[in-house]
Amino acid sequence: MIGLVMSQETVRTGVEELLRREPVFAGVVERHGVPPTWAREPGLGSLVHIMLEQQVSLASARAVFERLKALADPLTADNLLRLDDLQLRQAGFSRQKARYARAVAGAVVAGTLDFGALDSLGDDEVDAVLQSVPGIGPWTSAVYRLSVLGRQDAWPASDLAVIAGIAALWRLPVLPTPAETVARAEAWRPWRAVAARLIWQEYLGVRGKRP
């Protein structure tokens, strides 16, 4: 769905279709309701925030991101590049994530990453553009497509909450691999992004957390 940000109505349509295909999701909706869109604004800030969320808690990533916004107010590529290593470290960036955030900002300044142009690109093209920037891999680009561009079939195969959520919902003896989550999600096309939201809903709901 190029150029269309997923609305709550679209999520509801996807949920209704998935309930016909996958009985397990009925329990998620009964316990937690229809998931929200969890939509994010397009641009540098959301991409950096998503990068910060990789392999850390949502609360920790939010705290680092809020400190970054305070230091680089307003948060633009130029202002981020003006921050030195000490400032980024004090904000909570690891050395690696500081390097990756600078790579994103540098690509924006150089014109090789144009957030406005992503809307008109297909999913594979969006992934190619984003993953050309150091530090952006399949998980980051999939989450950006899902939560920012609103693509209805984006699937974050290696997402830790998706993996743990699938294991819990289907009572698997071991955590599935990313490849196994892809195989399971094939039956949910073209609503895999809605399926991910349902799984996140269960994962966060069971732990009493909300993003």
Q: Domain boundaries in the chain?
A: 8-39+154-206, 44-147
Report the candidate in 151, 97, 142 with the shortest Cα–Cα distance to residue 130. Answer: 142
- What average pLDDT score do residues 139-148 get? 98
84/93 Cα distance (integer angstroms): 11
88/66 Cα distance (integer angstroms): 12
What's the pLDDT score for residue 205? 84
End-to-end CA distance of the chain: 25
Let me know: does 148 contact 187? Beta carbons within 8 Å: no
The pTM score is: 0.94
160/176 Cα distance (integer angstroms): 10
CA atoms within 13 A on the CB side of 198: 31
Taking the alpha carbons of 205, 19, 21, 139 in that order, is the dihedral positive or negative?
Answer: negative
What's the pLDDT score for residue 194? 98
What's the pLDDT score for residue 108? 98
DSSP three-state, residue 83:
coil
What's the pLDDT score for residue 182? 98
User: What mean pLDDT is reported for the chain?
Assistant: 95
Let me know: does 25 contact 196? Beta carbons within 8 Å: no
44-147 maps to which CATH number? 1.10.340.30
pLDDT bucket at 11, cuts 50 / 70 / 90: very high
What's the pLDDT score for residue 4? 56
Let me know: does 126 contact 145? Beta carbons within 8 Å: yes
What's the pLDDT score for residue 209? 53
Digit-coded pLDDT (tens) for 31-41: 999 999 999 99
The domains spanning 8-39+154-206 and 44-147 adopt the same CATH topology: no
Q: Look-up: residue for tokens 């000490």?
A: 86
104-143 per-residue burial string, b: 16 or more CB within 10 A, e: under 16 = bbbbbeeeebebeebeebebeebbebbeebebbeebbbbb
Q: Where is pLDDT greater, at 4 or 56?
A: 56
- What average pLDDT score do residues 149-167 get? 97
What's the pLDDT score for residue 211? 46
Q: What does the angle CA 150 – CA 152 – CA 157 come to, to the nearest 5 degrees?
A: 100
- What average pLDDT score do residues 10-32 get? 97
Report the candidate in 97, 100, 104, 99 with the shortest Cα–Cα distance to residue 56. Answer: 97
> At the topology level of CATH, where does 8-39+154-206 sit?
Endonuclease Iii, domain 2 (1.10.1670)
Digit-coded pLDDT (tens) for 90-132: 999 999 999 999 999 999 999 999 999 999 999 999 999 999 9
15/33 Cα distance (integer angstroms): 10
36/28 Cα distance (integer angstroms): 13
